[in-house]
Homo-oligomer: A and B are copies of this chain.
Amino acid sequence: MKSHTEYLVFNTSRRREIRNITPELERVLEKSGVREGLMLVNPMHITASVYVNDAEGGLYQDILELLEKLAPGGRPYHHHQTGEDNGDAHLKRQLLGQQVVLAVTQGRLDFGPWEQVHYAEFDGQRKKRVIVKIIGE
């Protein structure tokens, strides 16, 4: 069994932002040399999501607007009694999905025609890490 671990770093220019990270993941997979296995992609900070969906700008807006409707910012969340102001970011990341596991087949991400992996940041403008862990052979 082979395993390979890398840490991607993102620092978004806006507080809330969605970014297609599929090219970075393909580079990590190539370096790993794994042909058959699983890849975990997990944000190491708890105010961000990794999810798979269409790489389309209108959909990014729809996702951000849906999450703002369901878990709006600027509200007096209990979490703010700690001095934080990002309660909505912790909640949004749960609703969108925390992480993904991807299939690796014949050395490639085994995707359908429109599957692309995204990093969704809800409290950015600072360095955040995403772990990529591949196991297989």
Contact = CB atoms under 8 A, between A and B. Distances in A.
Interface of A: 1, 3, 5, 36-38, 40, 42-46, 51-54, 56-59, 61-63, 65-66, 70-71, 77-82, 87, 90-91, 93-103, 105, 110-115, 129, 131, 133, 135-137
The copy count of this chain in the complex is: 3
Contacts of A97: 94, 97-98
A63 B103 CA distance: 27
A58 B38 contact: no
Given A44-B113, A62-B77, 12 more contacts: A5-B105, A40-B103, A44-B112, A45-B112, A53-B94, A56-B82, A59-B79, A59-B87, A62-B90, A62-B91, A66-B70, A105-B133
**Secondary structure of the A side of the interface?**
mixed
A111 B44 contact: yes
A43 B103 CA distance: 11
